[in-house]
Amino acid sequence: MPPSTLRWGIISTGDIATTFCKDLLVDPSTRNATDIFHKITAIGSRSLSSAKTFLHDLEESTDRFKWGVENGSLEGCHTLGSYEEVYNHPDVDVVYVATPHTLHHRNCKDALMAGKNVLCEKPFTLDAEELEDLMAIAQAKGLFLMEAVWTRFQPITFAIQDILFSGQLGKFKRLTVDNSLDYKLDERGESHRMLDPALGGGALLDLGPYPLVWAMLVLHHHPDNVTRSRPKVLSSYQTIYQRTGVDSASRMLLEWEGVGQAALTADLTCHGYMDGVAVITCEEGDIVVAAPPSKPQTFHIVPHGPDSSRQGFIRTKTTHHHPLSPGHGMAYEADEVARCIRGGKKESGRMPLDESLVVMRVLDEVRRSGGTKTKDLRGTAGK
């Protein structure tokens, strides 16, 4: 049986859209996805020239991305000078939204109202009210909707969950995740999307979703969380970047009742510990995940030391590699979208809308209890 084809319309032509589109050009067989073929049929930008330049750059792709160029992934692709033309184009099955955070709701809503399925970059929306609005529209129109949390679909996250949930490391104790990088804020203009409060700038909305990915995979999905209960935000703190009033760092302490706690950090001022961006502590030892937290490929199982009060079956350190297929690691989520739409599903079992809503509510609580200029930002739900 030939692979099924999913036709993508792309909204925005920035860096993340470039990364995503290039991954659509990678040979799916390199990740054992022989049932799927991705085709980019429309690219929309605020100017036609930007869309044309974007397509030209994709057509000039080399190395691992050349396969899609040579095998028709860009054949007949339309370059368009507005987003609306993408939403309404008959050759588009699903729209990928890669605009700034504060535009996600408007763009997703317009695509859904035009009858298109949607994959939207994280954070899904500015606030929970916007996401609830999109969920209602997608349900009413019978359309697929998903947040593009690529880490959830990478091989390593399944492997870590298998080990953790098997019980071989004993009872889960705690999780720490540090997503930090030296973004050199002082060298950037105040209108940069990471520094502009009006664009939802700051560490929380840009870096914060990744520690929350791990908290959701480790604690929310844990077998002890039988009812899939929401976490409590025990405490949070935001460091304010005085020049523009956004957060340069945010810290959260969350608790899932009956499971445990997660200490999460998102920081734009310095690099974190690269060999252990996430540490899952259990009775018998730790699962230590190497950087980056968005697309790790290596983790270690580290036994507790000889002075530990409990020494069980884990006695030696082991290293586990789960390499990504050629590309950046974003194609796995695209494959999920293709299979869901082909199967008539309206949401992903791996990235369900209710879990995006859990994350959005945590981000809302942290942002609204902080002292940044994004504290009082409200979205466009109902508009």
Q: H/E/C letters for each residue in 207-272? A: HCHHHHHHHHHHHHCCCCCCCCCCCEEEEEEEEEECCCCEEEEEEEEEEECCCEEEEEEEECECCC
Tell me, what's the pLDDT at 229?
87
Distance, in Å, from the CA atom of 234 to the CA atom of 253, rounded to the nearest integer, reads 5
Asked if residue 159 and residue 78 are part of one domain, the reply reads no
Q: Are residues 128 and 173 in the same domain?
A: no
Residue 380 lies in a domain: no
Query: Are 144 and 190 found together in one domain?
Result: no
User: What are the residues facing 265 on neighbouring strands?
Assistant: 178, 251
The predicted pLDDT at position 373 comes to: 96
Same domain, 184 and 145: no
> Is residue 119 within 8 Å of residue 95, measured between CB atoms?
yes
In a domain, 376, yes or no: no
- In the sheet with 172-180, reading across from the earlier edge strand, the strands are 232-241, 246-256, 260-267, 172-180, 278-282, 285-289, 298-303, 318-321
CATH number of the domain encompassing residue 231? 3.30.360.10
Q: Are residues 133 and 188 in the same domain?
A: no
Measured CA to CA, the distance from residue 146 to residue 341 in angstroms comes to 11
Q: Are strands 285-289 and 298-303 parallel, antiparallel or unpaired?
A: antiparallel
User: Residue 366 phi/psi, 5° resolution?
Assistant: -65, -45
DSSP 58-118: HHT--GGGHHHHHTTTTTTPEEESSHHHHHT-TT-SEEEE-S-GGGHHHHHHHHHHTT-EE
Spell out a b/e string for 5-21, using b for 16 or more CB atoms within 10 Å of the CB, else e: ebbbbbbbbeeebbebb
Residue 335 belongs to some domain of the structure? no
The pLDDT assigned to 223 comes to 96
Structural domain tally of the chain? 2
Same domain, 273 and 140: no
Same domain, yes or no: 13 and 74 = yes
Residue length of the chain:
383
Task: List phi, psi (to 5°) of 11.
Answer: -110, 120
Give, as one character, the DSSP assignment of residue 329: S
pLDDT for the residue numbered 129: 97
What pLDDT, on the 0 to 100 scale, is given for residue 294? 96
Q: Are residues 185 and 311 in the same domain?
A: yes
Per the structure, the complete domain to which residue 25 belongs is given by 4-149+341-346
The 10 Å Cβ neighbour count of residue 170 is 15
Does residue 328 belong to any structural domain of this protein? Answer: no
Q: 0.85 exceeded by the pTM?
A: yes
Do 37 and 56 reside in the same domain of the chain? yes
Positions of the chain with pLDDT lower than 70, given as ranges: 1, 306-313
For tokens 């502009």, the residue is 196
pLDDT at 383: 77
Do the Cβ atoms of 124 and 267 come closer than 8 Å?
A: no
pLDDT given at position 2: 82
Q: Is residue 330 part of a domain?
A: no
CA triple 11-12-13, angle to 5 deg:
130
CB atoms within 10 A of CB 243: 12
- Give the number of C-alpha atoms closer than 13 A to the C-alpha of residue 267, restricted to the C-beta side: 17
Same domain, 166 and 86: no
Q: Do 199 and 145 belong together in one domain?
A: no
CATH code for the domain of 79: 3.40.50.720
Three-class DSSP category at 55: helix
Beta strand pairing status for 172-180 and 145-148?
unpaired
Structure tokens of 196?
Answer: 């502009």
In a domain, 168, yes or no: yes
Examine the domain organization and report whether 139 and 171 are in the same domain.
no
Judge whether 374 lies within some domain.
no
Is 381 a member of any domain? Answer: no
* SS3 of residue 360 by DSSP: helix
Beta bridge partners of 121: 148
